[in-house]
Amino acid sequence: MLNSIKRYILLLNTSDIKRIGHRQDLHAIRGLAVIIVIFYHADFELFKGGWLGVDLFFVISGYLISNIIISEVNSGTFNFKSFYLRRFRRIVPAMLSTLVVTSGFAYLLLTPKAILDYSKLVLSSLFFYANFYLQNLDFYNAEPSKLNPLIHIWSLSVEEQFYILFPLIIFLLLRGIKKYLFLILLSVTLLSIYSNSFTQDITKFYSSQYRIWEFLLGSLLVFISFKKFGKFFTFSGFALIIFSVVSYGDTMLNLNSIEPKLIALLGVSLVIASNDDSLNKIYNNQLVVYAGTLSYSLYLIHQPIFSFLRIYGKKSGFEITNLFYLIAIFVIVIFSYLNWKYIEKFFLIKDNFSNLIKFSTFAVSGLIIFTLNSLNTNGYENRYDFVPDEVLFYSANTNLYPTENEIIEFSNYECSQLNSTKKHLIFIGDSHLNTLSVSIMRNFKDSSCNFDLSFVYNPTGRCILSKQNDTGVINVCTDEYFDSFINNTLTKDSTVVAIGRFDTWLETEIGNQVQCEGCDYIDIMKKRFEDVSNSSNKLLVVEPVPTYPVKIAESYLYKNTLWGENITIDYLDWKYSLIKWYDFLDNLDTTNMEIIESSLVFCNQFDPGKCTASTGKNIFYSDDNHLTIEGANLLVEKIFITINSLD
């Protein structure tokens, strides 16, 4: 059996591969792919798996590029200079025009922090490493992806990396071990799929090495034809694409599961390999045809327009409904048509080479100047001279973590008294602990004679207390890691301080991130809190700080609130929102737990009956739930009063 397969593979002769002409089915799939991506980013529920449209693009690109390279090598017409110039004409001008126009709107609409992130992404896009930039970006502290005008640009970087390297590799293989080309491509494809299946790293979404199998799947299709079974495979493949798009939502995307991709890409592979006209009514539909023609510009332009619409909605205080999205899609089509006609189409003409160089030089220079000015002016913060420096600072620094100097200073604390009975003080929690840790270190000096201090930060802290996190499947969430923490870290001399947004941990959509199937995540949290409490001398649980409907620093920047006005919420409403959390605590089987009420710090102190995020003179919150240094100092002082009062 294996020998038969091997003989068949060796019969797949690259010499038989000819340059294909225009294929209406590929044109249509490209159009359908961009439509489902746009509808997905417009939050249309039916297209919840629309993120798979990018994967469809990769397979089509792999197929077309491989056909071009192999067929031209066969005919003796392949030329690297010509190949790369065609790719440059096809990709770069339309991208540059989009970046130039988008940067103008970014200057008008983005906050300093957002425009700093945007500028770095512009720079990475120009040199085609945007996927690596995003791969290493701290998304917890970065702007939400739906508000990022260039979050989608990573896929162009992945494609360009493929276009740059793949021709060199294929050319060398064709010159050396030509008859084994299919076998080599198949082996690398299977290896990449295997690597995807067993890698849980959340950054693999943007990694080229975890995307290579999608391009190579297209390459393999150059060798394969299912035309004999065309009609059946075409309908089956199309059905698989539709099934994957309507069935797999963001949960599978966040888990980086390969299952949806395998189904969708099997579908598009069947359609490509069958090369059948059974679905001509769909392929020749005018909407699909136009979408295919404008697909590149549609993809480039849709995300900036959607993100700017959302940002403007935030600034103006209106909800983005489906009607707004439909209007936005109409605008996207208009701008895409203009970009296609006057940029894409124009620069594909060979006689426009000098204009291509001039345009590219001018655009790249302007974008680099824009980026450098942004970096040198902290995101053009001079646009916001109507707020004090601390508002600008906290809008760009949502979560302040300890610096290296602060850690060194903390490690040099020396108690003036000899104390051989120091107890262990352990702070454990999510990002709220990360933020508070700066103030904790600064306030710890007076307690250094009584305690040794350590931190268990997010995501480890949240994993230990709840077996859930928001960064994918990680080892620190496992039962084995938790048992090791209980047995090797905690003692009866340990005082544990738990800090986090515990109320949100109890929400179903958050609880579903627990790393087990078919389990009761609340019971898991209950047992873990009990085990931590019963394995230590004292468990201090800090009540979640009040959460606000707006980001505080951003609210002042957007002039939704004028500086000098307090930002508050109703105290009773906040306490009512914590009922589920307090019920959870009441049901814990422990006798050494104490609650530190953050509401005593932030509520009824500045405005009766209100919880206060900013007094108009002092800003206690950076965003809707994270504290500034000023806010953290108030809460940490309360925490240490409790700690120092312990027996």
Convert the pLDDT of each residue in 602-639 to its tens digit.
Answer: 999 999 999 999 997 899 999 999 999 999 999 999 99
pLDDT digits (tens, 9 = 90+) for 311-321: 999 888 888 88
Provide the pLDDT for residue 11: 46
Fold of domain 398-544+574-597+627-644? Rossmann fold (3.40.50)
Provide the pLDDT for residue 417: 62
H helix runs in 42-129, sequence order: 53-75, 80-109, 112-126
pLDDT digits (tens, 9 = 90+) for 264-298: 999 999 999 888 888 888 899 999 999 999 999 99
Average pLDDT over residues 423-449: 84
pLDDT digits (tens, 9 = 90+) for 170-203: 888 888 777 788 888 999 999 999 888 877 666 7
Number of helices followed by number of strands (H, E) in the chain: 31, 7
Grouping H, G, I as helix, E, B as strand and the rest as coil, residue 568 is: strand
How many Å apart are CA 391 and CA 523, to the nearest integer? 41
Residue type, 584: F
User: Pick from 67, 43, 466, 539: which is nearest to 273 by CA?
Assistant: 67
Burial label, 278 (beta-carbon count in 10 A; 0-12, 13-18, 19+):
middle
Average pLDDT over residues 469-490: 83
Mean pLDDT of the chain: 88
pLDDT class of 87 with cuts at 50, 70, 90: very high
Q: Is the pLDDT of residue 158 over 80?
A: yes
User: Can you give the residue ranges of every domain in the chain?
Assistant: 45-223+285-378, 398-544+574-597+627-644
Q: Is the pLDDT of residue 142 over 70?
A: no
Q: Is the pLDDT of residue 474 over 90?
A: no
pLDDT digits (tens, 9 = 90+) for 100-110: 999 999 999 99
pLDDT digits (tens, 9 = 90+) for 559-600: 999 998 999 999 999 999 999 999 999 999 998 999 999 999
pLDDT digits (tens, 9 = 90+) for 376-412: 999 999 999 999 999 998 888 777 766 666 665 666 6
Provide the pLDDT for residue 181: 87
pLDDT class of 35 with cuts at 50, 70, 90: very high
The model carries a pTM of: 0.86
Q: Which of 12-26, 365-379, 406-420, 455-469 has the lowest average pLDDT?
A: 406-420
Better-predicted residue by pLDDT, 566 or 230: 566
pLDDT class of 10 with cuts at 50, 70, 90: very low
Provide the pLDDT for residue 228: 66
Provide the pLDDT for residue 512: 52
Provide the pLDDT for residue 130: 93
Provide the pLDDT for residue 105: 96
Grouping H, G, I as helix, E, B as strand and the rest as coil, residue 624 is: coil
Q: Please report, rounded to a whole number, the percentage of residues in the chain having pLDDT higher than 70.
A: 89
Provide the pLDDT for residue 212: 93
User: Pick from 244, 221, 232: which is nearest to 278 by CA?
Assistant: 232
Provide the pLDDT for residue 516: 66
Better-predicted residue by pLDDT, 146 or 126: 126
Q: How far is CA 630 from the centre of its chain?
A: 30
Provide the pLDDT for residue 486: 93
Reading phi first (left if > 0) and then psi (alpha if -120 to 50, else beta), residue 76 is in left
